[in-house]
Amino acid sequence: MTSKIKAVVFDFGGVLIGWDPRNLYARFFSDQPQAMEDFLAEVSFAEWNAQQDKGRPFADAVALLSEQFPHRAHLISAYHEHWEESITGTIEGTVKLLHALKTQGYPLYGLSNWSTETFAIVRHKFDFLNLFDEIILSGEVKLIKPEPEIFELCLQKIGRPAAECLFIDDTESNINTAKKLGFDTIHFHSPEHLETELKIRQLY
């Protein structure tokens, strides 16, 4: 390892594993993409789901939102009941790069906004997750990106300063927090873009 980078931190959803609630809801909004978007906006889906990522039990979340939007209750429950359909599969190009970094001896860490309830459903389906030295889930530690506290916790686990850690994520707000804390960062757009950025840093 000739690079100043001594550890690599990966986000999961959108980087290594495809996730999109629209994949699940498509069955309820056949050929009605705008109606689907209207529903997601009406119930503030992203904000609601983030609280599960931060540790709120799904049963409580469904009950609360269904009370607020009783006419949408069946759709709200559907996300809990069919959550696995929101996972669109492995992002193979990134997994290839993950294996390459592991082979070269870089310690790997996962830092993901993910509910412990739902992560447990798919954990065994992705063998590459075994490559990580440690996985930090927002739902487990009750902290969530882009809060700086979860990045600081990650650094404690790694035992190295931020300047020696590379953080890879597809969400700009998460990247911005990591930058402020001193991480080297790559804003993920595609496996091809990631490969280019890793080569620039002489990591691949």
Domain with CATH 3.40.50.1000 in the chain: 7-16+91-200
Confidence (pTM): 0.95
Residue 59 has a pLDDT of 97
pLDDT at 3: 78
With vertex at residue 16, the alpha carbon angle to CA 179 and CA 26, rounded to the nearest 5 degrees, is: 115
How high is the pLDDT of residue 139? 97
Q: What is the mean pLDDT of residues 30-34?
A: 94
pLDDT at 11 over 70: yes
Q: What is the DSSP string of 92-112?
A: HHHHHHHHHHHHTT--EEEEE
pLDDT at site 2: 56
Per-residue confidence band for 165, with pLDDT thresholds at 50, 70 and 90: very high
What would the pLDDT profile of 169-197 be if each residue is shown by its tens digit? 999 999 999 999 999 999 999 999 999 99
Backbone angles phi, psi at 91, to 5 degrees: -90, 90
Q: What is the pLDDT of residues 77-134, one digit of tens each?
A: 999 999 999 999 999 999 999 999 999 999 999 999 999 999 999 999 999 999 999 9
Q: What is the CATH number of domain 7-16+91-200?
A: 3.40.50.1000
147: left (phi over 0), alpha (psi -120 to 50) or beta: beta
Closest CA to 140 of 80, 50, 53, 58: 53
